[in-house]
Amino acid sequence: MRENTKLIVGMLSPTLIFLIFLLVAVGWAFYASFTDIMLIGPAAKSPQVIGLRNYERLFRDPLFYNSLVKSAIYTGSVVASQCALGLFLAVLMHHKGVKIKSAVAAAVTMSWIIPDIVKVYTWGAFVHYEGTLNSILRVVGVPSVRWLSEKPLGVSIIGNVWGGTAFSMILFLSALETVPPQFYEAAEVDGASSWQKFIAITLPLTAPVILIDLFLITIWTFGYFTFVYGLTGGGPGHATEIAPVFIYNESFRLYKIGYGAAISFIMTAMVAMACIGYLILLRRMERV
């Protein structure tokens, strides 16, 4: 028994030290959110404790509400599109006799696994005024649009669907493989249409995986900084300033890191609630 204890302590402690370091950092930032600390200047060296003032200011800041609204639109649209498109693709590819399954899977997955900043750069060039999107639209008679200044949130959303749907698609493909093919064969004997088979067999049997997918991509999209920041920087104006970009801009462009820490804690509290919901879901599913 004693040998076991020694073993556990010896093997776990290096990792625990790392995790405790992260906890200390979070605690320190929580303290900083009650100070007027700045990135530069005198308040960088000797910040003063100002109590709840950062949090009070936050709830009066129209830009904070702007970031919540943009985040809600952005996350809602991206999650709904990725989940629906991912499921649609997986169901189509699961059909017998589909010839181009692996080619489609490879192309969709390729735009997902490349590094974030490569996605940003490639998508930015695609929606550029002289870019490929406008030349395709010109062929069908649509005049060119300055997408990044006229429809910045829209192209950010579609860009994220382009670069992120593969996750849901692969997840649903693996879920569909667990559905016994006899179910579909029986339904075919009864003369069920494709739509009826989808509603009566596919959807109920993959429902838990769909729920998992919705939780995960909601959390990740809400906290996804790089794509929108790289594409628009939050602009033009504050048109695409979703929560993580708002935190970055307030902290590192306007130097208000104390204030940024306060926003960060509100955002993290929301993320943490969603994560706990996800854990409860996982726990329930293991019991079933």
Partner 1 sequence: MAIHIPLIIVFLFALIPLTWLVLASVNPAASPASKIPSRMTMENFGRTFSGRPLHWTLNSLLIAGSTATLVLFLATMAAYPFSRVRFFGANVLLYGLVFLRTVPVSSFMLPIYLIFIKLNLVNTYLSVILTLSVLNIPFALLLLKGFYDTIPTVFEEASWIDGCSKWKSIFRIVLPQCGPGLAVAWFMTFMFAWGEFLIPLILLRKIELMPLSVGIFTTYGEYGVVNYGLLSSMSLLYAIPPILMYILIQKNLVKGMVGYVKG
Site for partner 1 in 225-264 (CB under 8 A): 225-226, 230, 244, 247-248, 251-252, 257, 260-261, 264
Angle (nearest 5°) at CA 210 between 204 and 213 = 170
Residue with Cβ nearer partner 1 (200 or 276): 276
Query: Is position 273 an interface residue for partner 1 (rule: CB under 8 A)?
Result: no
Nearest alpha-carbon partner for 229 in 214, 211, 251: 251
For partner 1, what does the binding mask look like between residues 101 and 140, x meaning CB under 8 A? --xx--xxxxx-xxxxxx-xxxxxxx-xxxxx--xx----
Instruction: Tell which positions 185-214 bind partner 1, by CB under 8 A.
Output: 209, 212
Angle at 26 between CA 78 and CA 215, to 5 degrees: 25
N- to C-terminal Cα separation, the chain: 34
Q: How far is the CB of 85 from partner 1 (least distance, A)?
A: 8
Q: Which of 78, 93, 148, 155 binds partner 1 (CB under 8 A)?
A: 93
- Token pair for 17: 């030290």
Nearer to partner 1 (CB atom), residue 69 or residue 282: 282
Query: Quick check: 266 binds partner 1 (CB under 8 A)?
Result: no
168 φ, ψ to 5°?
-65, -40
Rounded to 5 degrees, φ, ψ at 199 are -70, -40
Answer for which of 58, 173, 240, 241 binds partner 1 (CB under 8 A) is 173
Minimum distance between the CB of residue 106 and partner 1, rounded to whole angstroms? 8
Partnered with residue 49 across adjacent β-strands are 35
Token pair of 43 as six digits: 């308040």
| Residue 45 makes contact with partner 1 by CB under 8 A | no
The verdict on 4 binding partner 1 (CB under 8 A) reads yes
- CA-to-CA separations, 170 to 105, 179, 189, 258, in angstroms, rounded: 8, 15, 29, 41
